[in-house]
Amino acid sequence: MVKFAPNLFFMYREHDLMDRFQAARRDGFRFTELCYLGDLDVAEVKRALDDAGLTLLSFNFPPGEVIPGEKRGLSALPGHQAEFRELAAQGLDWAAQLGAGMALCPLFGLRPEGVAREDCEAVLIGNLQSILPDLEKAGLTLLIEAHCSKDFPGYIIDQVGQARRIVDALASPHVRILFDTYHTQRMEGDLSNLYQAHRDVIAHIQVGNPPGRNEPDCGEVDHRYFFEVLDAAGYDGWVSGEYFAKAGTSEGLGFLEAWGIAKQP
């Protein structure tokens, strides 16, 4: 049975951020995920998780500098290796404080003019190799996610196959793919076959239905069928909701019961 958890940066936006933990608990969730912590007090986030009885599945490492249309991270950019290590150190500290077992890699960046994509991938691989001992010591799985370059032109990793190349090059159980149905559908489509092709290195799945990145039952993708594919394949990880509720988060959760999706293990 597919297990579902809310991403509190996307869902429950009708509540202030620090109130979303209790809102998720009231809806019966026991697990959740976050995105960027930014200027949040990590100790306060931990208290909110504990007070709501929630376990944090994953969060995002600090992304690096983001300027819409100009900059979107640096993990695969030549010349920024020291900055990457600083971001990773901060993320590892947060993971230890919050008790998360997974985290998303800092954003990869927009490919500089005149720099080959393969060279950027090599930089990313080198950066990840440099922190593998830290990931292993922490017992943390770092997730590699392809983002839709139609939304973020020039983004270096925008295909699931690229993410697979990175994972294969590292050959470590501590680096895995995050498969996002919104980004993947926008870029490639063919969700079920792509999942099947890479399922051995997919550790986490996020869902959002194009074109509006809404609930799984509101959009062009038949997520019910996709969840059946996951079940048939024996997927035992989590699916998280990284979507914008169309008319209230709680009101839009009917697909869980209708499709036999669990809120707890």
Going by their DSSP bridges, the two strands 3-6 and 238-241 should be labelled as parallel
Q: What does the H/E/C string look like for the chain?
A: CCEEEEECCCCCCCCCHHHHHHHHHHCCCCEEEEEECCCCCHHHHHHHHHHHCCEEEEEECCCCCEECCCEEECCCCCCCHHHHHHHHHHHHHHHHHHCCCEEECCCECECCCCCCHHHHHHHHHHHHHHHHHHHHHHCCEEEEECCCCCCCCCECCCCHHHHHHHHHHHCCCCEEEEEEHHHHHHHCCCHHHHHHHHHHHEEEEEECECCCCECCCCCCCCHHHHHHHHHHHCCCCEEEECCCCCCCCHHHCHHHHHCCCECCC
pLDDT at residue 221, as a whole number: 98
- For 95-122, the pLDDT digits (tens) are 999 999 999 999 999 999 999 999 999 9
CB 50 within 8 A of CB 23: no
Token pair in block for residue 204: 């986490």
Tell me which residue of 41, 38, 44, 4 sits closest to 24, measured CA to CA.
4
- Sign of the dihedral defined by the CA atoms of residues 221, 227, 233, 234, in that order: positive
Digits of tens for pLDDT over the chain (265 positions)? 899 999 999 999 999 999 999 999 999 999 999 999 988 999 999 999 999 999 999 999 999 999 998 999 999 999 999 999 999 999 999 999 999 999 999 999 999 999 999 999 999 999 999 999 999 999 999 999 999 999 999 999 999 999 999 999 999 999 999 999 999 999 999 999 999 999 999 999 999 999 999 999 999 999 999 999 999 999 999 999 999 999 999 999 999 999 999 998 8
* Residue 242 bears catalytic tag: yes
Query: In the chain, what percentage of residues exceed pLDDT 70?
Result: 100
Write down the catalytic residue from 215, 242, 251, 257.
242
Counting Cβ atoms within 10 Å, is residue 251 exposed (0-12), middle (13-18) or buried (19+)? exposed
For 3-258, CATH number out of 3.20.20.120, 3.40.50.850, 3.40.190.10, 3.20.20.150 equals 3.20.20.150
Write down the catalytic residue from 33, 121, 145, 215.
145
CB 237 within 8 A of CB 203: yes
pTM of the prediction?
0.96
Q: How far is Cα 32 from Cα 264, in angstroms, rounded to an integer?
A: 10
- For 172-191, the pLDDT digits (tens) are 999 999 999 999 999 999 99
What are the domain boundaries of the chain? 3-258
